[in-house]
A and B are shown apart, each in its own frame.
Chain A
Amino acid sequence: MMKLKSILASKILFNSKQKSISSGPGFFTIRAIFLLIWILVLWIGIIVHADRAESKLYIDITSPSMRRISIAMPDFKYLGKKNEHPDLSSKLAGIISNDFDLSGYFKPLDKDSFIEGPESGVTRDSIHFKDWSVIGAEILLKGGYECIGQRLKVEVRVFDVYSGSQLYGKRALGSVEESRYLMHRLGNDIIFSLTGHPGPFLTRLAFVGTSTGRKEIYISDYDGHNLKQTTSYNTITLSPRWSPLGDRMIYTSFRNSRTVLFMHDVIKGSVAKISDRKGLNIAAAWTPNGKELALTLTISGNPDIYLIDITGKILKKLTRNWGIDVSPAFSPDGKKMAFVSNRSGSPQIYVLNLINNQVERLTFEGNYNTSPAWSKLDRIAFAGSSDGHFDIYTISPDGKDLHRVTQDQGDNEDPCWSPDGRYIAFSSHRTGSKHIFIANANGENQRQVTFFEGDQLSPSWAQHFR
């Protein structure tokens, strides 16, 4: 707890009157300590403050249904003398506004409703909080920036509109070119200070895209920006899966009409062939320690799941059944593995206990359940069909608490979890072609994040590689 306290302390800007921001422990004042205790109280989820306005800030992101907090994020102010990059004013605010919208915790207010005059600044004293409370803002995020050539200095302050108190303040330095990265980093920090959990804004997605007419692997930021085509094999490449660290990726690609499993080192840019056995080499999953992979091979004549090391050597045959066994997904402790099998006649999800080798059927509703994804928060997402359309569901690993995530919006498939298990990504056909959507773990706040030509499907979500 003490460690957390110091982390929080270093993130909060205490002297809101001072224009330049400092976060050293030397700035501790009585007020700051109060604020710190308050944040801590929020963080452990017990509200002891009598102040009604401040109690609104309590953000319990674990509750099944959460009210989104109204946040106002006006364009950033230029704090220097000569503004060399006036476009950044709305761009910087736009990046963080989109982050907060996608986070699911906040509801950014429409800029058109803002009534604040141009004379107001970014510090507490220069803000007329009535201007914000009257339009329904609960939280106000104010930002300023300064450029020297390509150098960019950004400062961000977060205020509780009702009490007028500053909840967060920090400055970040970088280049104009990496402004998206800077804003994501600040956004993560703000989310951490308000919820106790880091935000997802520096995570990345890998997915299959069809814009070239072939299926290739692409990587983008979690918000769909910064798109890069990773493969140009000009064949069919499928099932990208990030390593737990987010430094490597495995995928299946066709070579001479056959499926081959490859490992792509995203940092070095190198590609290695991992499994090229006779028959299928498909749908691999990483073990949580990143040292082994499970995949489906048909070397015995039947599709079974095998455990291999990252050089491709077979360690163990995990499933033995006449049926089709595919799509493995490990529990966060690595002791169980969910997979799809048609051993009962139709594709259903099963859970294999890797300690005692017991297999239990997980899904009983619907005639086609597939694509299990096991979250770090111990929940299994899958795609299921009962009415001819596929939809995303989540279920507890013991088979209880089935929750439907999508409904009546075309086909929704390929679920995957964010590295922290707080968000879910999937492909949806709701707009007429397939795009990647992200949502809160409970399915609320579904947002489209890829808008590229063709289809985007089969997402995999990587943590920020440091």
Chain B
Amino acid sequence: MTTFWDALHVVLSPEIAAVMFLAAVFGLFVGATPGLTATMATALLVPITFFMPPVAAIGAIVTCSAMAIFAGDIPAALLRIPGTPASAAYTDETFALNRKGRLDLALGTNMTASALGGIFGTIVLVFAAPQLADFALSFSSVEYFWLALLGLSCATLVSIGSPLKGIVSLCFGLLLSMIGLDVVMGFPRFTFGSMDLQGGVSLIAVLIGAFAVAELMRKATNLGRPLPVPPPIRGSILKGQARVLWQHRKGLARGSVLGTLIGALPGAGADIAAWISYAVAKRFSRTPEKFGTGHVEGVVEASASNNAALSGAYIPALVFGIPGDSITAIVIGVLLIKGLTPGPTVFTSSPDLIAAVYVVFFLANFLMVPLGIAAIHLGRRILMIRPGVLYPLILLFCVIGAFATNNAVFDVWVMLVIGVVVWIMEANGYAAAPMVLGLVLGRVVEETFVNSMIKSNGSLLIFFERPLSAVLGVVTLLVWAYPVVVLLCRNLRHASPDTSSRAS
């Protein structure tokens, strides 16, 4: 408990509180701007967090991403354009509420359910993470190898688009992670004689390229007319909220639980959580026919779900160092750069850091209500900002940010190449998230594999010797087998009508 109070003291120090406040404003702004995602907000923050102590850096990222996920609901309700992909699931619903003249109800529900979902996810994080970490202390390099591999496998399986393309994207990230001195002998791999590549590809440059530069280029392909100016909001946003939430308390609880679980799953993040929760809400509703006509039930459940997912993703990230989504992949990257390797030992070696993460999460979700109300009222103005001014500014920020982390022009080139490659990849159905996960986890997979092999004198049996490693190994192999089985079943089903028609 004393650690908790110490952490609260640290987080509420003027510097960190100021950093969190600014990150919140930044997150609300980016989230409320259609076309800018929460992941992009986080990627843009990274070069700045690079110069901060770890608690401030995590505080900035957590606050910014939580705010961005909520703020994505604002343009969704105002203009039927989701500000971030995580709001897409219920955009039609909140816009329908707007058409009914209940914009205050739509956005109020978005905000309060988001905050409650986020707080629920944080409570689970606070209780589950230390238990899991205790358990994980007995893990050896073998278990970590399987966990990292399992994380990568899940990431390709649940990634948007075809799993096959997810595998290609993952391999591309893994190859990127191998550039530089290798872990076994310190031999320079794929450096082609370049000194700049010896230390490896800069993660920050790749992140900004993949999540910001590629987005800018995609945005340019549909430079449309300026957005229409939405109407001002009438009525109090919090009025009647308690009643709505109490009425849909079951959905709120279900969305929070499901969101946390989906978030904790490697590779699945807030957007998938929102889609699934919205579908679940409809499935279990007594009035499913009202969905899509401006009915608040699904909005409660899915709004809670996507913010809960954000907290849930930190469970595997902090305990095992396996990111649950692209935002936590960025967080792990930032911690690694700061010389902190996320894992169970962090819970014993720096409990202050872990406690600070919890405090940051609670504060961020509490802050969401007052700052959210301000953002809802200013939302109209954010949407009136001209893209011709905003986007060039983001580009310059990307360039300077990529340069700043290592003071290297080379990193700017890396960002450029990755940005163009990811732009082409995403237009052709290759998701960027598996690539980033591959880049972050590639070294972990290789290091743990090599360490295990050295321990076993080259025998592969070590990977199945301990009961725990055997279980993890079998689960991983099942995840690999799953798409193959699905494909076979589908082919058989396709084949059977043919044979029956031939027989007749």
Q: Do A and B bind each other?
A: no
Instruction: Give me the interface of A with B, judged by CB distance under 8 Å.
Output: none
